[in-house]
Structure 1
Amino acid sequence: MSSTRKGMLNVLIAAVLWGSSGVCAQYIMAQSQMSSPFLTMVRLLFAGFILLTLAFVHGDKIFRILKNRKDAFSLLVFSLVGALTVQLTFLLTIEKSNAATATVLQFLSPTIIVAWFALVKKARPGPLVFAAIFTSLIGTFLLVTHGNPTSLSVSPAAVFWGIASAFAAAFYTTYPSTLIARYGTLTIVGWSMLLGGAFLLPFYADRSQTFVVNGSLVLAFFYLVVIGTSLTFSLYLKGAQMIGGPKASILSCAEPLSSALLSVILLGVSFALPDWLGTLLILSSVVLISLDSRKRTKPTL
């Protein structure tokens, strides 16, 4: 198998696993009565420890960043505003709606990123970016209203947390580039998850938590943390390095599609025609942005 095909397969598998992890989180919260903040804390602590262990085994000097005060502060900002916020808002959206809606709304983040950079650089977006912004707005409108502007098909809280999740994902994607270049991806993401989870610990240290625990929930949690977070992250990184960011972004559209399909099949979530149309429009915005990126990075003769 060629490196390109192998990279595409890695990204595609990662996207499907990511989509399934949202469904898994919805199952855990519904069956165990565990709150989204508590699940966020536990997920981040375990996943952060696993990623830092992988980085250490890989030979990365995982404690080097803590010796640089400026970079350590940037890591703390990324941990709280990035890793913690993106995970917490995502799980809150699932709690208020379902995994499919949460995943699709979070996919607004590429549109937010290109719109933000266009404003900061005071540069007029190209036609593909304009089309992406338009399709993402129409897709969001269909998803949350089913085409009727006088009513919402999901709760206002779900809309709020879903859009907040998209903004958090945009920050999470763009902020740590300098840190990652200096210290490595596994180290930065691992620390951000561990610190983000540790931030929530004081809120639960002195209070007892009551939730259901059984064999299926333990397996679901193992899948969420090990397969749906740690393994998935490693697969996506490896695949994206092989095929490049634009192609990886297009293939990652399998994530909300797999989340929607699995939500319907496994959890009995109702996904109507406007939901599917809204999902496809938001995904098309990601494809348009990726095509615009490829067009701008294509070498000229």
Structure 2
Amino acid sequence: MAALKDRQAYIYVFLGAALWGIIGLFIDELSQAGFSALQIVTLRVVSASVMLVCYLALKNPKLLKIELKDALSFIGTGIFSIVFFNWAYFTAIEEVSLSVAVILLYTGPAFVVILSRIFFKEPMTSRKVGALLLTLFGCMLVIKVVPIGVEHISWYGILVGLGSGFGYALYSIFGKHALKKYKSLTIITYTFVFASLVMLPVSGVTIKSEQLASTHVWMHILGLGFFPTALAYYLYTSGLSMIESGRASIAATVEPVVATLLGVLVFNEILTFYQVIGILLVLVAVILVQIKRKRTVK
């Protein structure tokens, strides 16, 4: 029964991460429509929060009830994680490069493993450490940081990029804490509500009405809010409720693999030999982290 539950959890995490991986489809269209990166983040969190609040209000209003003392958990997932890591990620892209920024973002699982050890007493096993190293190197191959490398990197960009990884990790930590008391739908709803409260004043006011006049634009805004946001976070959070935070975060590193394969299938990008090796390393790490050490009976 436990094995079946674990398998279900990993399926949820994989599906959630795969949906994160298709976000480029929506970002590409909205960028062409004239929206800036921060405006797209605003559209993402606001559309997701509106859909989730409306859904729960009609389907199960009880899930919208939270205690004021628990708001810190949702501030953590919504502001400290979603808002902060997006700001840090986009800043890192400007300071260094997209490839380096992505790698720094994917230091997140390492932060999750360390923080989970501190707060949830999750074991720091050699298998987890090995999986972390495989995913990091695999991601570097997938996004072509290795073997190309970089000649000059801004130290501020590195610091902010690591901050994005830390912020990315905080969702798993605050989310795991909130799961002790609340359902996944409640957590993701208030995550995006709190994120919207910050993002709307920051960049939402800069969105012009004429930018929202197209049905095509609205379809991509709603698609962005639902598929790689509301549904993806629901699936990931549901999986997180069943397995350790560290294992879930490592399994979620299939996201850049999906994004790369999407680039090949949709945008006709060419997959290199090193990218194939990187994809295989990430998949091996994901399998490795699922294997539990068998206990010997004395």
TM-score (norm 2): 0.72
Equivalent position of 2:66 in the other structure: 64
Correspondence 1:23-172 to 2 at 5 A: 23-56=24-57, 57-65=59-67, 68=68, 70-89=69-88, 106-117=105-116, 125-139=124-138, 142=141, 143=143, 145-149=145-149, 151=151, 163-172=162-171
Name the aligned partner's letter for residue 222 of structure 2: F
Mapped contact 1:47–1:229 kept (Cα < 8 A)? yes
2:76–2:171 Cα contact (<8 Å) kept: no
The alpha-carbon deviation at position 260 of structure 1 amounts to 0.7
Q: Which moved more, 1:194-203 or 1:72-81?
A: 72-81
Partner AA of 1:274 in structure 2: Y
Q: Which amino acid aligns with 1:19?
A: G
Q: 1:31 deviation in Å?
A: 0.9
Give the stretch that moved more between structures: 54-63 or 247-256.
Answer: 247-256
The answer on whether the counterparts of 1:28 and 1:221 sit within 8 Å (CA) in structure 2 is no
Secondary structure of the residue that 1:64 maps to in structure 2? coil
Query: 1:2-28: CA deviations, max 9, x gaps?
Result: x8787776555444322112x124313
In the alignment, residue 21 of structure 2 is paired with which amino acid? G
Please name the residue that 2:21 is paired with.
19
Residues 82 and 195, structure 2, Cα contact 8 Å, conserved in 1: yes
In the alignment, the residues of structure 1 paired with residue 122 and residue 248 of structure 2 have an alpha-carbon distance, to the nearest angstrom, of 25
Unaligned runs of 5+ in 1: none
Question: Does structure 1 residue 265 correspond to structure 2 residue 265?
Answer: yes
The structure-2 alpha-carbon separation of the partners of 1:285 and 1:102, relative to structure 1 and needing over 3 Å to count, comes to farther
Q: Which amino acid aligns with 1:16?
A: A
1:230-284 superposed Cα distances (whole Å, 9 cap, x missing partner): 233344555676x756986676454332211112332355654434444543554
* C-alpha contact 1:40 1:91 (8 A) present in aligned 2: no
SS of corresponding position for 2:64: coil
Moved more, 107-116 or 281-290: 281-290
Task: Work out the CA distance in 2 between the residues paired with 1:300 and 1:235.
Answer: 34
| Partner Cα separation in structure 2 for residue 77 and residue 248 of structure 1 | 18
TM-aligned CA distance change 1:217 to 1:272, over 3 Å: farther
Equivalent pair of 1:111/1:289 in contact (CA under 8 Å): no
> Is the Cα–Cα contact under 8 Å of residues 90 and 162 in structure 1 kept in the other structure?
yes
Alignment of 1:241-260 (within 5 A): 244=243, 252=252, 254-260=254-260
Q: 1:185 to 1:225 in 2, by over 3 A?
A: same
Q: Can you give the 5+ residue segments of structure 2 that lack an aligned partner in the other structure?
A: none
RMSD value over aligned CA atoms?
Answer: 4.3
After superposition, the C-alpha distances for 1:190-239 in whole angstroms (9 at most, x for unaligned) are 11211112212223466464858644433222221122222333445556
Q: Deviations over 1:169-188 (max 9, x none)?
A: 21110123333322322222
Do the aligned partners of residues 29 and 155 (structure 1) sit closer, same or farther apart at CA in structure 2, a change above 3 Å counting? farther
For this pair of structures, how many residues does the alignment match?
Answer: 288
Contact 1:105-1:140 within 8 A present in 2 as well: no
Partner secondary structure for residue 35 of structure 2: coil
TM-score scaled to structure 1, two decimals? 0.71
Question: In structure 1, what is the Cα distance between the partners aligned to 2:250 and 2:75?
Answer: 31
Check 1:58–1:179 CA distance in 2 against 1; reply closer, same or farther (3 A cut).
same
- Residue of structure 2 in register with 1:223 after alignment: 223
- C-alpha contact 2:134 2:285 (8 A) present in aligned 1: yes
Question: 1:42: how far off?
Answer: 1.8
Cα deviation per residue 1:80-111 (whole Å; 9 max; x = unaligned)?
1122224444566788866x987676444223
Equivalent pair of 2:21/2:256 in contact (CA under 8 Å): yes
1:62 deviates by: 1.7
Measure, in 2, the Cα distance between the counterparts of 1:124 and 1:235. 24
How much does 1:59 deviate? 4.3
Instruction: After superposing the two structures, state which structure 1 stretch, 137-146 or 175-184, moved more.
Output: 137-146
**Following the alignment from structure 1 to structure 2, what is the Cα–Cα distance between the partners of residues 218 and 193?**
19
